[in-house]
């Protein structure tokens, strides 16, 4: 990966023209300080009030929004938004770091045509993947197996082939995705979702020795590792629960786990659930895991980046001092 400077941006500043009114205006204001004070108060009130005179100038859309040139020089460059630098992979530009607004991720279709995707932050959940074109979706999803193999392949401490991953490995996969310059935040969420799905489809064993004990499923233990992993368009955590207040979400989780909600189960499924509830009590591991997921999702929505989700998920679920075999690091 390489980085090279882009176009230099010129800071064109707007200078207000000198007033063309009476040259004695300053003297007039100084000679009538009470009138001047009243004028200032009226002007200040108009900034937040709904004075009829100012509405005539503002129009139906309200007062204009002024963009400070020090914050975004785009407003002073006749709409120009310069590329400050670029990031390249394999000889092709994959990211344009913009002077103003989000970066552009540059992707190339099957014909080599470049397409620019603004790297907008995540602001609402569930993450919407519908805007990713099919050809781009194929490129994004195609990176999942490489990430899994990076941590699955290797040797165990005894020298035998590994073929398994632990919670620290999952955390590292998430963090690797968060650092990918060739993906937008939405695409990073899509790639993680594909990793999660392929872990199950490929039957990759996931060890829970380095999972925080309170997060381990209280009923099924290591047989239900998947309860700690969700896709970013998950309907339960990523939509139903996250779009409630924290207090409402906690009540919904409890109701789901104690069987008082309206979850539809088959006759056999309902009998098995009631039996397990009677024998084992509420699945506290599921409760803690759901709350942990929501904390991570709130970070994603608040900060807008998959890296924020990865960091919080790691804090909630992973024992960094223990390896996947349960030995101290």
pLDDT of 120 reads: 98
| Structural domain total, the chain | 2
**Residue 138 per-residue DSSP state:** H
Length of the chain, in residues: 329
Distance of alpha carbon 185 from alpha carbon 83, whole angstroms: 19
Domain that holds residue 24: 1-101
- Beta-strand ranges (E) seen in 99-196 are 104-108, 114-118
Q: Give the pLDDT confidence of 143-153 residue by residue, as tens digits.
A: 999 999 999 99
Q: Label the pairing between strands 104-108 and 114-118.
A: antiparallel
Q: Give the pLDDT confidence of 57-95 residue by residue, as tens digits.
A: 333 333 333 333 344 444 445 566 789 999 999 999 999
Q: Is residue 329 part of a domain?
A: no
**Same structural domain, 54 and 139:** no
Q: What would the mean pLDDT of 151-157 be, rounded to a whole number?
A: 87
| Structure token pair of residue 244 | 């409630």
Of residues 122 and 14, more confidence is placed in: 122
Quick one: which of 98, 103, 204 has its CA closest to 148?
204
Q: Give the pLDDT confidence of 170-208 residue by residue, as tens digits.
A: 999 999 999 999 999 999 999 999 999 999 999 999 999
- Beta-strand ranges (E) seen in 63-153 are 83-89, 92-98, 104-108, 114-118
**Same structural domain, 240 and 153:** yes
**Same structural domain, 304 and 180:** yes
pLDDT of 47 reads: 44
- The answer to whether 125 touches 240, Cβ cutoff 8 Å, is no
- DSSP letter string over 297-320? HHHHHHH--HHHHHHHHHHHHB-T
**Same structural domain, 138 and 97:** no
**Same structural domain, 61 and 151:** no
**Same structural domain, 95 and 143:** no
């Amino acid at each position: 990966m390489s980085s090279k400077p882009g176009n230099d941006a010129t800071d064109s500043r707007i200078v207000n023209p000198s007033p063309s009114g009476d040259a004695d205006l300053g003297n007039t204001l100084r000679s009538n300080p009470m009138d001047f004070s009243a004028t200032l108060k009226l002007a200040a009130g108009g900034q937040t009030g709904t004075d009829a005179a100012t509405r005539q100038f503002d129009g139906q859309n309200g007062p204009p929004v002024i963009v400070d040139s020090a914050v975004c020089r785009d407003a002073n460059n006749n709409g120009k938004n310069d590329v400050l630098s670029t990031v390249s992979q394999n000889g092709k530009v994959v990211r344009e770091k913009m002077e103003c607004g989000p970066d552009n991720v540059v992707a190339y279709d099957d014909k080599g045509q470049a397409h620019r995707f603004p790297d907008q932050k995540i602001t609402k959940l569930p993450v919407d993947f519908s805007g990713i074109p099919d050809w781009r979706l194929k490129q994004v999803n195609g990176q999942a197996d490489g990430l899994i193999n990076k941590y699955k392949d290797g040797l165990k401490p005894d020298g035998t082939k590994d073929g398994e991953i632990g919670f620290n490995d999952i955390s590292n996969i998430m963090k690797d995705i968060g650092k990918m310059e060739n993906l937008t935040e939405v695409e990073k969420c899509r790639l993680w979702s594909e990793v999660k799905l392929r872990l199950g489809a490929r039957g990759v064993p996931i060890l829970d020795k380095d999972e925080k004990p309170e997060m381990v499923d209280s009923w099924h233990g290591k047989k239900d590792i998947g309860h700690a992993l969700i896709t970013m368009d998950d309907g339960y955590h990523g939509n139903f629960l996250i779009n409630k207040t924290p207090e409402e979400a906690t009540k919904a989780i409890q109701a789901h786990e104690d069987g008082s909600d309206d979850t539809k189960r088959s006759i056999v499924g309902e009998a098995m659930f009631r039996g397990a509830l009677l024998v084992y009590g509420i699945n506290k591991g599921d409760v803690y895991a759901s709350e942990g997921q929501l904390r991570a999702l709130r970070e994603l929505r608040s900060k807008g980046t998959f890296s924020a989700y990865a960091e919080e998920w790691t804090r909630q679920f992973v024992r960094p001092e223990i390896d996947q075999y349960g030995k101290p690091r």
